[in-house]
Structure 1
């Protein structure tokens, strides 16, 4: 007789989704992230996904005051816990500007199960919409930067951030780079129809790219939460409400292959994605 969660049956990859409530207290956020790693380790997860701005968040706007360097406390804690637990991680952080542009950068870091920092995605599409002006405080990442695709247990996870979800070209570029799963850490702003947009767009990105989608929202005031996991056929397999929560799913690459064989839309398309300057 066995007790407790059992490791995933390969080739499935186990992903823990941490819908966290994040504050502007950087030290407290490190503690919260460590707790998410503890849960991921308990359930034998291969990958932990934290939301956008996991290092620090203020719903009035995130900027230089919330930034930390890559060798700062938050990313260092991610690397330490990944090495200790064997769980890889994707997490939203805010990086400092420089002498040429003091605005901070909204980024996602990729840490492997040995604790190495193996990738960085700088958010391309800043949230200048619905009355917000993210570009006043943050600078965009280069649109022609190499896509961030992280290999975890043989499955390739491609990374977008929040508002990027509204731009299908970004997701398609990741599919072109070999992504099996699209991961979207987010602090999706609340408002009229916003939760509906979040869900609808996540499902659309899954269907049009025949890729699974792991959309991890932030919980708390001003954001919708409502993390979800969508199969490559568009079926929602997991969906949270607006409250903080941590859930774990197994993703089966055989399902992805089956959907892409039945619906070869990626092979049948006639247009390529070309970044604009």
Structure 2
């Protein structure tokens, strides 16, 4: 299976020259599965400390347009996330697109609340659980950004039969802790771990760190974006994940 991961430019819109350039590169790489960054389109809502209903509605609208743009890529399977209405706030919903068909996969449940990332003010979960789903012929679990920091979730995905953990991110300039978390998630789960991130500086000065990365089921580095290659493709083999899950430390019983 060929997977594509990316650095999504801050403020990306699902139309125009910037998006068309990204779409062209994805077509060239011809992946079986595309992993985008977390809520890839439009402004980053959680930069603001208080929920704003009008801005929330606009982000929902932009991401609905984004669904059509993603579907038009004609990639067999895509995993991304988007804001959806959920009572008095939003939910951050991870989803899969396969053949134009939409399937909700997961709602983010762990939210930071600090400058630049006031997510608890904007989001809550309207769907419990961390469930494995078949996406494009591979068993997938989703951890949305901050959720990667909690190894018990990655380990449980491996125990529940996942072969790939997908991590859409919108994280800041520091990358070291994210690489550590990604490697540990792969090590404890026996899964491939693939993460795309938002990249660049907003007009208000907030910096997103980019650096998409992938780890092999044993925790070894597999691929990473660079200053010259912001969209990267590589091959994975679900059989390797299943074999790794029979080895230390994955086989150790709780």
TM over 0.5: yes
Instruction: Check if 1:172 corresponds to 2:134.
Output: no
The answer to whether the aligner puts 1:95 opposite 2:102 as a matched pair is no
Per the alignment, do residues 36 and 71 of structure 1 end up closer, same or farther by CA in structure 2, a change over 3 Å counting?
Answer: closer
List aligned pairs for 1:163-242, cutoff 5 A: 163-190=146-173, 194-221=174-201, 222-241=207-226
Q: Say whether the 8 Å CA contact 2:216–2:222 is kept in structure 1.
A: yes
- Partners of 1:33 and 1:16 lie apart in 2 by 16
Provide runs of 4+ in structure 1 moved above 6 Å: none
2:2 is aligned with 1:14: yes
SS of residue in 2 equivalent to 1:52: coil
Of Structure 1 and Structure 2, the greater strand share is in 2
Please tell me the root mean square deviation across aligned C-alpha atoms, in Å: 2.7
Show the 5 A alignment for 1:103-142.
Answer: 103-112=89-98, 114-128=99-113, 132-142=117-127
Give 1:257's match in structure 2, choosing from 227, 234, 242.
Answer: 242
Mark the runs of 5 or more structure 2 residues left unpaired by the alignment: 202-206
User: Following superposition of structure 1 onto structure 2, how do residues 39-78 of structure 1 map, counting pairs within 5 Å?
Assistant: 39-58=25-44, 60-61=47-48, 64=53, 65-66=55-56, 67-68=59-60, 72-78=64-70
SS at match of 2:39: coil
Superposition deviation, residue 37 in structure 1: 4.1
Summarize the Cα distance change of 1:184–1:146 in structure 2 as closer, same or farther, 3 Å threshold. Answer: closer
TM-fit CA distance, 1:132: 4.3
Q: Distance in 2 between matches of 1:169 and 1:70?
A: 34
The answer (yes or no) to whether the contact 2:159–2:189 under 8 Å persists in 1 is no
Which protein has greater RCO, CA pairs closer than 8 Å, 6+ apart? Answer: 2
Partners of 1:212 and 1:118 lie apart in 2 by 21
CA distance in 2, matches of 1:129, 1:202: 22
With structure 1 as the length reference, what TM-score do the two structures score?
0.77
CA distance in 2, matches of 1:94, 1:87: 23
d(CA) in 2 for partners of 1:259 and 1:94?
35
For residues 25-44 of structure 1, the aligned pairs below 5 Å read 28-31=13-16, 32=18, 35-44=21-30
Counterparts of 1:53 and 1:243 in 2: how far apart (Å)? 23
Q: Which residue of 2 aligns with 1:269?
A: 253
Partner Cα separation in structure 2 for residue 205 and residue 47 of structure 1: 20
Q: Secondary structure at the match of 1:150?
A: strand
* C-alpha contact 2:191 2:241 (8 A) present in aligned 1: yes
SS in 2 for 1:110: strand
**Structure 1 residues 146 and 198, CA, compared in 2 at 3 Å: closer, same or farther?**
closer
